[in-house]
Amino acid sequence: MSRTPDTWILTASCPSILGTVDAVTRYLFEQGCYVTEHHSFDDRLSARFFIRIEFRQPETFAELDFRDGLAARVASFGMDFELTPPNYRSKVVIMVSKADHCLNDLLYRQRIGQLPMDVVAVVSNHPDLEPLARWHDIPYHHFPLDPADKPAQERKVMQVIADTGAELVILARYMQVLSPELCRKLDGWAINIHHSLLPGFKGAKPYHQAYEKGVKLVGATAHYINNDLDEGPIIAQGVEPVDHSHYPEDLIAKGRDIECLTLAKAVGYHIERRVFLNASRTVVL
């Protein structure tokens, strides 16, 4: 899935009520809008309805009038909606430590236009990746972590996020556990990536542990962060088969590739407004 550059995006959610699809699509028809993509989902367990529509505007189109009219039309449904204009680019802050593969991949995809976003800052607890950020002409903020005063470092991180107007934070192999306070502030708009191995190998050298157990699958999970470590709502996952011929360094290499692809996919879904939070899960349309 990829967004057409000249289309508006309309996303909405509400309780499951008869007539929700008609309310939205009929309004678009009445306004002379041409629908190019339409996905909806009704969750019978949570009794919530979700819809995402891309459309082309007519020659005469007033965004404020459109918003006001739609708000009046869907008010009785208790529907919340968001309207994203054509060619919109999300402002993004990327957090990293020492591993460069995910950062390099995201910056490349931004540069070639595959991910319609503007990385406005890179933040790290180490100085190692500053040359990579500078090569892309992106400000790099090195905030060393003092274990005795972690809140001070996180306040600096939040200041960068606030000053840049970032709408999305990406933890691209940022190897620090965020505090509950920072998790609450970033809830729903910060994406993390980590390896996915079965069994779940924790601690140092997980791929070496996986090799010793003879794993047959390696993978990665991209999810929104919350206060439960690596257990936030999942956006995307990737998996690849491996066998006895894969040594630890082979598993690590394959894991890096899967992490890059899975994180890029999750970021793309988010900035194209395809992800809806549904309690502790996500709906991806």
Phi first, then psi: what are they for 239, rounded to 5°?
Answer: -150, 145
Question: Does the annotation mark 243 as catalytic?
Answer: no
Residue 253 · residue 247 · CB < 8 Å: no
Residue 5 · residue 84 · CB < 8 Å: no
Residue among 49, 116, 91 at smallest CA distance from 269: 116
Residue appearing with tokens 């306040």: 155
Q: For the chain, where are the E strands, in sequence order?
A: 8-15, 34-43, 48-56, 80-84, 90-96, 117-124, 140-142, 168-171, 190-197, 217-224, 234-241, 275-278, 281-284
137 token code pair:
């002409």
Backbone φ/ψ region at 143: left (φ over 0), alpha (ψ -120 to 50), beta: beta
- The secondary structure of 14-77, three-state, reads EECCCCHHHHHHHHHHHCCCEEEEEEEEEECCCCEEEEEEEEECCCCCCHHHHHHHHHHHHHHH
Residue appearing with tokens 């395809």: 274
Residue 122 · residue 141 · CB < 8 Å: yes
Of the listed 42, 118, 230, 257, which one is catalytic?
A: 230
Residue 222 · residue 236 · CB < 8 Å: yes
Helix (H) / strand (E) element for 180: namely helix 180-186
Residue 139 · residue 120 · CB < 8 Å: yes
The residues annotated as belonging to the active site are: 230
